[in-house]
Amino acid sequence: MSPTNSNKDKPPATVSTVLVVAITTIVQALATMCSVIPAAIAPELALAFGVPASMIGFQVSLIYLGAMATSLVGGTFVKRLGAVRTSQCALGVASVGAVLMTVPLIGILALGSVFIGFGYGLTNPSAAHLLMRVTKPGNRNFIFSLKQTGVPLGGVAAGLAAPSLALAFGWQWALWAGAVVTFAFIFVSQIFRKSWDHDRDPKVALRQNPLGDVGLVWSHPPLRRVSLAAFCFSGVQVSLTTFAVTMLVKDIDFGLVEAGVVLSVVMVAGVMGRILWGAAADKLRDGSGVLMAVGVIAVLSGLLTLTLNIDSGQVVIYGVLMLFGFSAIGWNGVFMAEITRLAPEGKAGSATGGALVPTYAGVLLGPASFAGIFALLGHYTTTFGVFAFLSLTGVFLVYSARRLMAGD
C-alpha cells in the first residue's frame, strides 16, 4: 500500500480523539451507574433486607474493596489484553455484579458488590492508556476531566432512573436495567478492539507482582502525596454520593424520587466541575493549584451542609449540594492528569493503577467511617460537617506535593 493510501485510511486525529474520549467516558459512566444504583435506592434496599439505611455505607465499601483489588493489576491487564478488551472485561464483570445483587440474600448482595468493584477498578487504567495517545500537555487536564465526567454522568443516570424503577416495579428492576445496559455496550466497543488494541502484548504474564504499580507510585514522593490526597478527596466524594439521598429523606423529609432528582443535580454539578476545573488547570498550567482550590471549596461545602434542616428552603438545599458536587466530585480528572504527568515515560497505565489503590482505599474506608460517625452523632448533615476535615487534609497533602515538585 502506498503512503498516500495509508494516510487516507488513517482517521483524522480529531476524530480519533473524540471517539476515544466518548468510548472511555461511556465505559466509566456505565460502571459508575452500576455502583451508584444501590445508593440511589438505599431506603428501598434497607426495607427489603431489614437493615438500617446507613448500612449502605458498608455495601459501597465492598464495591471499592473489589475496585482496589483489580486496580492493582489493571496496568498488567492493559498490557496483556489491550485497553479495549480490559474495558470490556470491566463492563462484563460489573453487569454480573448487578445481577447478583438482585438476589435477596445479604451474602449474595455483598458478593455482587465486590464484583461491581472488580469491574470498576479496571476502567481507569485502560482509559488512561488510551487517552495518553491522544492528549498533549496543553489539553491533558481538560481531556482527562472530560472523560471523568463519566462518573457523575453515571450517577445522574442512577439517580434519575433507579428510584422510579424501584418504586414502580420493585428494587430488583433497577439493578436488572443497569446490568442489561452495561452488558450491551460490550458489543458496541468491540468495533474498536482491533485498531485500538494493536499495542497489546499477549506474552505479558498476568501473574506479576500485584504491588508493583503501587511501588512505582510509593517510590516517587510527589506521586505518593498526590495519591494520598486522593484518598481524602475520594472518601468525601463517595460519602456524598452514597448518603445524599438518605440524608435528604431522613434529615430533611424529602420523598425518595425527589431526593433522587437532587442526587442527579449534584452529579450534574460534578460534571460541570470536572470540565471547568480541567479547563482551568490547562489554562493556568497548574494542576496542583487547581486541586488545592477544589479541596478548599469542598471544605466550605461540607461545613455549609451543617446548616441544612427541614426548614431550609429548596434554593438553599439545592445550592449547597450543587456547590458540594461541583467541588467534591469535580477533582478527579485533574488528579488523573497530574498522575500521568508525573508518571515515568510509558508508565501512565501502571502509575494510574498504583495511584488508584489509595484512591479506592479512601472510597473503601470513607462510607464505612461516615456510617460509624453517623452512629455516634445521629444526623447525616452533622456527619458531612465532620468530613470537611478530611477534605482539608487532602488540601495540605497536595500543597506538600507541590512544594516537592518545586524543589522546596
C-alpha–C-alpha distance, residues 279 and 337, integer Å: 12
The full DSSP string for 365-406 is HHHHHHHHHHHHH--HHHHHHHHHHHHHHHHHHHHHHHHHHT
Give me the pLDDT at residue 403, please. Answer: 86
C-alpha–C-alpha distance, residues 305 and 312, integer Å: 11
Give me the pLDDT at residue 349, please. Answer: 65
C-alpha–C-alpha distance, residues 42 and 101, integer Å: 13
Q: For residues 274 and 152, is the Cβ–Cβ distance under 8 A?
A: yes
Structure confidence by residue, pLDDT tens digits, 319-365: 999 999 999 998 988 998 888 887 766 666 677 778 878 887 888 78
Given the C-alpha cell 476531566, which residue does it identify?
A: 145
Can you list the residues of the chain whose pLDDT is less than 50?
A: 1-13
C-alpha–C-alpha distance, residues 96 and 120, integer Å: 12
Q: Which domain holds residue 386?
A: 11-194+208-405
Domains of the chain: total: 1
Does 2 map to a domain?
A: no
Contacts of 88 by beta carbon, 8 Å cutoff, 6+ apart: 186, 189, 190, 193
Sign of the Cα pseudo-torsion (35, 41, 47, 53, in order): positive
Does 5 map to a domain?
A: no
CATH of the domain at 32: 1.20.1250.20
Give me the pLDDT at residue 215, please. Answer: 80
Among left, alpha and beta (phi > 0; psi -120 to 50; other), residue 23 is alpha
Q: For residues 296 and 396, is the Cβ–Cβ distance under 8 A?
A: no
Give me the pLDDT at residue 207, please. Answer: 65
Does 319 map to a domain?
A: yes
Q: For residues 57 and 368, is the Cβ–Cβ distance under 8 A?
A: yes
Does 343 map to a domain?
A: yes
Helix, strand, coil share (%) of the chain residues, nearest 5: 85, 0, 15
Does 200 map to a domain?
A: no
Does 201 map to a domain?
A: no
Does 3 map to a domain?
A: no
Q: For residues 110 and 161, is the Cβ–Cβ distance under 8 A?
A: no
Q: For residues 227 and 205, is the Cβ–Cβ distance under 8 A?
A: no
Does 1 map to a domain?
A: no
Q: For residues 211 and 384, is the Cβ–Cβ distance under 8 A?
A: no
Contacts of 19 by beta carbon, 8 Å cutoff, 6+ apart: 11, 192
